Copies of this chain bind each other. A is one copy, B any other.
Amino acid sequence: MLSHKAKYALKALLYLAEQDENHISKTIEIAEGANIPKKFLEQILLDLKRGHFVSSKQGKYGGYYLIKSKNDITLAEIHRLFDGAIALLPCASLNFYEPCSDCKTESECHLRHGLMLIRDKTLQAMQGITIASLVQK
């Protein structure tokens, strides 16, 4: 399941993607438009900025805007930024790999192989969903 943070991030990106080119959106505007708690959204937007999905203009008349094409922002990336691994266990993860603490040896782990198959399928599906594909829905 997605955390609220990841869900709100997606909704904020959708909001930004629907604005006119060159439009700068204030946090409060996004919060009200997408129904997200404003103070929570502040943090999320900073995370999205650190992830190079959006950028900001500070000070009066400042706000946020997309810096990555809505065609290039995938659900997989947002999931990884906010919720971490897409795989079902760390030992089956590409980006968040960690060995199982409770497996004697990795080759003996009967779960890993199957979970990597799932990861590949899910990842492929998540990479196919972009902000653009969601906007036009």
Give Cα A10–Cα B91 distance, bound, in whole angstroms: 15
- Chain A residues bordering chain B, tally (CB within 8 A): 36
Give Cα A79–Cα B88 distance, bound, in whole angstroms: 10
Question: Which of the residues B103, B118, B137 comes within 8 Å of A122, measured between beta carbons?
Answer: B118
Residues of B within 8 A of A134 (CB): 110-111, 113-114
Copies in the complex: 2
Dominant secondary structure at the A interface:
helix
Among A1, A103, A133, the one with the most B-chain Cβ atoms within 10 Å of its Cβ is A1
Could you mark each residue 101-135 of chain A with 1 if its beta carbon is under 8 Å from any beta carbon of chain B, else 0? Answer: 01110000011011001100110111011000111
A contact residues vs B (CB 8 Å cutoff): 1-2, 7, 10-11, 14, 35-36, 75, 79, 84-85, 87-90, 102-104, 110-111, 113-114, 117-118, 121-122, 124-126, 128-129, 133-135, 137
